Amino acid sequence: MNGAEIVVRTLISQGIDLCLANPGTSEMHFLAAMDTQPGLRLVLALHENVATGAADGFARIAGRPASTLLHLGPGLANGLSNLHNASRALSPVMNIVGDHAVAHRRLDAPLTSDIEALARTVGVSTCTAQPGSDIAGATASMIAQARGPVPGVATLLLPADTAWSEAPEHAVMPRAAARPSPPEASALDAAAAALRQPGAVLFLGFGALRGQALEAAGRIAAATGAALLGQTTSPVLDRGAGRVCVERLPFASDAALRRLAAVPAMVLAGARAPVAFFARPEQPGQLWPPGCRMVELAAPHDDALRALTMLAEHIGAAASADVRRYPAKLAHEAESWIGQALASSMAEDTILVDEALTHAVAIASATAAAAPHLCLQNMGGSIGYGAPAATGAALAAPGRPVIAVIGDGSAMYTIQALWTQAREKLPVITLIVANQAYRILELEAARMGVRDPGRAMENDPHASPLREVRCPPGGLSHLGSGPAMRNDPHASPLREVRCPPRGPLSHLGSGPAMRNALHIGAPDLDFVKLAEGMGVPGRRVRNAAQLAEALAEGQRLHGPMLIQADV
């Protein structure tokens, strides 16, 4: 048995059955091994960032790792940004990268590079399987590292001569992932005391936003009066009608600072203490106020269900408490026709992949009252996660509907994912929110004081940041008054833009660099043609009725579809 066969056999014995691949010459023996050692399914991606992003999506839904198969340093580099996102999502990924034969490396052939250095930037662990070593042991060890206790990306480098050489077969036992410790009694006491302070926040992330953990959090909030606040993004959240209502910390750091300004205490349940996505001049990066009491009940990788259940028991939060839940119908008109159509069309248990950026909050507001669903969000901030993650999620849950809502700029990063969806006949609807701009950067420019960074788009209420920065009423008080919106104030980041002071750039209108960099129209992107080019049928819609019709059509297909929603 050669080294490649030993790796494949070990992957299978440790419960890995999916390999998301874009292999090359140095991985050919691995491919051959997959055909002699059946049990590991290969799904091809036309770009490595599709493979790695799919591994992230798969792990989030399946709760276990898939493997990748990438070609040398450049193949890893191509897939690195979605491995970054996976790593930030604590998604277990068994990342397999072929390397030159050991003796070949010092010849510095064209494809030679420092693969380990690349892998270390995203990984919990990296290991090279030397020829003749205990290859099964090295493989099993990397799988265990990927699983945790802090899950993430573990990279196995497989030199070509390790793959093709006969090697001794070492036995490997299946290993259970290490289980994190439960919170100590003192942490429960501290959390209970903190949550009883008026204005306190129970800050939820990762596992705390799922199923029974979320239910326990809802009871704790009802019993203590604390607010339930979710991280700006989380890997998977349970949302929709009847589910416990969770406010989300705004993305914009000025809005987040305002939300937390008067919070006396935060209890972290599966969440990290909140920091700003980006630094800004004259603004702290740490979002909680000085003097705010921070209590960690469960770290992101901890068992949030167990921790929240213990805390609920500790404070005697009754199952019958008056938990605030999303209603079955919004009490107000949805502010986004995309959100409105989505909310009314989504089937129960849909996996909603969110990479809508500036449109995300409006969609989240509208779908709060949709049929119960899962929502996946980008954890690492590197755009191009959505289409690959949707692909992986669909592979993890055969037959379950997946809808990925993606901004046009983000979609262009990993548009190749559509081809894999077509080949694998995955029921993924890709809904492109097409504003033909990097709108989020237009907002940044407006914040910096640049005059009129955006082009005029008369029909799009989200078009001109200038219109939005005309000092709306402060905070969220202008939002609709339905119970969902009171409890789920996913305020539009557009509204969060306060009138900028006359900053250092307020003298600056938008010049050619700013205009060129922010607009991705001219030529406009036709995603229907892009999809059809990869075997995916497409529709283009301009209002809620057309979108609802297209969504209904997509949900009847046994395969992927793309819908371009022009806003």
List binders of a copy of itself among 148-167 (CB under 8 A): 160-161, 164-165
**Span of 192-200, 395-403, 470-478, 519-527 interacting with a copy of itself by CB under 8 A:** 519-527
H/E stretch holding 93 reads strand 93-99
CB atoms within 10 A of CB 157: 23
Residue of 59, 97, 122, 305 that binds a copy of itself (CB under 8 A): 122
Least distance to a copy of itself from the beta carbon of 100, Å?
A: 6
To a copy of itself, the closest distance from the beta carbon of 386 in angstroms equals 14
CA distance 64 to 16: 8
Nearer to a copy of itself, 99 or 468 (CB): 99
In the complex, least distance from residue 487 CB atom to a copy of itself, rounded to whole angstroms: 25
Nearer to a copy of itself, 84 or 539 (CB): 84
Strands (E), 276-372: 293-298, 351-355
Between CA 359 and CA 240 the distance in angstroms is 18
SS3 42: strand
* Residue with Cβ nearer a copy of itself (38 or 501): 38
- Using CB under 8 A, which residues numbered 435 to 494 contact a copy of itself? 440-441, 444-445, 448, 450
> Which residue's CB is nearer to a copy of itself, number 108 or number 313?
108
Residue 331 makes contact with a copy of itself by CB under 8 A: no
399-418 residues in contact with a copy of itself (CB under 8 A) are 409, 412-413, 415-416
Asked if 216 interacts with a copy of itself (CB under 8 A), we say no
> Contact region for a copy of itself (CB under 8 A) — 110-118, 323-331, 393-401, 454-462?
110-118
Q: Is 109 in the site for a copy of itself (CB under 8 A)?
A: yes
Residue 58 interacts with a copy of itself (CB under 8 A)? no
Return the CA Rg of the chain. 24
**How many whole angstroms separate alpha carbon 168 and alpha carbon 132?**
7
Provide the mask over 14-53, with x wherever binding to a copy of itself is found by CB under 8 A and - wherever it is not.
-----x-x-xxxx-xx-xx-xxx-x-xxxxx-xx-x----
Query: Interhelix angle for 304-314 vs 185-195, to 10°?
Result: 70
Sequential DSSP letters for 15-40: T--EEEEE--GGGHHHHHHHHHS-S-
Find the part of the chain contacting a copy of itself (CB under 8 A) among 107-115, 131-139, 141-149, 175-183.
107-115
Single out the residue of 445, 371, 443 nearest to residue 407, CA to CA: 443
Among 12, 466, 505, 557, binds a copy of itself (CB under 8 A): 505
CB-CB contact of 13 with 41 (8 Å)? no
Alpha-carbon separation of residue 109 from 129, 161, 284 (angstroms): 20, 15, 47
Q: Which of residues 335-354 bind a copy of itself (CB under 8 A)?
A: none
> Which residues have a Cβ under 8 Å from the Cβ of 184 and sit 6 or more positions away?
none
Looking at beta carbons only, is 19 or 190 nearer to a copy of itself?
Answer: 19
Instruction: Say which residues have a Cβ less than 8 Å from residue 483's Cβ, sequence separation at least 6.
Output: 245, 324, 327, 331
State the number of binding residues for a copy of itself (CB under 8 A): 105
Token pair of 348 as six digits: 């129960």
Of positions 68, 81, 145, 345, contacts a copy of itself by CB under 8 A = 81
Nearest distance, CB of residue 87 and a copy of itself, angstroms: 9
Find out whether 461 and 433 touch, Cβ atoms under 8 Å: no
Q: By CB under 8 A, what part of segment 521-560 binds a copy of itself?
A: 522-530, 532-535
**Quick check: 384 binds a copy of itself (CB under 8 A)?**
yes
Cβ neighbors of 139 (< 8 A, separation 6 or more) are: 6, 7, 10, 11, 14, 129, 156, 172
Give the one residue of 289, 327, 381, 475 binding a copy of itself; rule: CB under 8 A.
Answer: 381
